Every structure is written in C-alpha cells, then in structure tokens.
C-alpha cells in the first residue's frame, strides 16, 4: 500500500499550525490538487475535540474525483486524524501531528497511507499523488507565513 511520511520543523507555534491544518474549508486556496472542500457537518466530542465530515474534490488535468472523510481534531493531543469514508479509494488515512519546539516553532508530522480501488486509477494517479504529498509541507508552511507572518 502506498504511503508517505514527513516531519518538518516550522517557525510557527504548534497551536497556530494545528489551527491552520484544522481550517479545512480554506484548503482550495493553497493545497495542491484540492479543487473544492465542503464540510457536511460537525460534532463536538467534548474535551476540546471535534469531529467533522467533509467532501474533498481533487483535480489534475482530466482527472477529478470527490471523496468523503471523517476528520477528528484533538488539539490537546496535537493530532488530527483523517479517515476515509467514501470515494475512489479502497483505503485512505492520514495523521497530522504537532509537537511544540518552544513558543514560536514546532515539528509538523504528516503520515498518509492510501490505496485506490481501481488498478488503472492507481497506475495513473500514484506518481502524481506522491509528488503532491511531497509539496504539502511547503504549502502549509507558506500558508502559515501568509496567515501568521513570515518568521524573521
């Protein structure tokens, strides 16, 4: 099963980076391949945790697919879990982690595993998905610089 993992130090607080990643409605503005994202609903899980269900449309050239995920936001644990519910995948799960490195820096972890239902779609899309995942850290860091100001 294809997977990708990265850990990246950024010059923004873990709280700011968590908030940036949790603000899924803004993804079409800066996330590679994300054409549209719509939150279907939100649920308070207590203790500061929240769960939402969202539809994300990814597009690349003639390819366009929408999939549904459940996103669990756990700010106290510094963790965002994304679990696949419906769409072109057999499996999709990713985990974001945020580890403070002082007041104005943190380590952002991104771990994803996925498998397409169709072998043909897998053959067509896997290399492109891999390239996109490699750009995610840069996209989120650049977005943080826009939202919170570039580090000096």
Statement: the pTM of the whole predicted model exceeds 0.85? yes
Start-to-end CA span in the chain (Å): 40
Would you say residue 152 has pLDDT above 60?
A: no
Number of domains in the chain: 1
User: Of 87, 77, 83, 89, whose CA–CA distance to 2 is shortest?
Assistant: 89
- Of 8-17, 75-84, 96-105, 117-126, the range with the lowest mean pLDDT is 117-126
Angle ∠(100,102,105) on CA atoms, nearest 5: 65
CATH number for the domain including 118?
3.30.530.20
- Tens digit of each residue's pLDDT (9 = 90 or more) over 54-85: 999 988 777 788 999 999 999 999 999 999 99
pLDDT at 10: 93
The whole domain housing 131 covers: 3-148
Would you say residue 31 has pLDDT above 60?
A: yes
């Amino acid at each position: 099963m294809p997977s990708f993992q990265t850990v990246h130090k950024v010059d923004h607080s873990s709280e700011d980076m968590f908030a940036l990643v949790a603000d899924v409605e803004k993804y079409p503005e800066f996330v590679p391949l994300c054409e549209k994202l719509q939150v279907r609903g939100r649920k308070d899980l207590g203790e500061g945790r929240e769960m939402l269900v969202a539809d994300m449309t990814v597009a690349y050239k003639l390819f366009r697919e929408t999939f549904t995920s459940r996103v669990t936001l756990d700010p106290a644990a510094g963790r965002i879990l994304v679990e696949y519910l419906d769409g072109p995948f057999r499996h999709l799960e990713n985990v974001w982690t945020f580890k403070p490195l002082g007041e104005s820096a943190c380590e952002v972890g991104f771990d994803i595993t996925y498998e397409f239902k169709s072998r043909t779609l897998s053959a067509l899309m896997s290399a492109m998905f891999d390239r996109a995942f490699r750009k995610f850290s840069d996209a989120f860091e650049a977005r943080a610089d826009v939202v919170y100001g570039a580090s000096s």
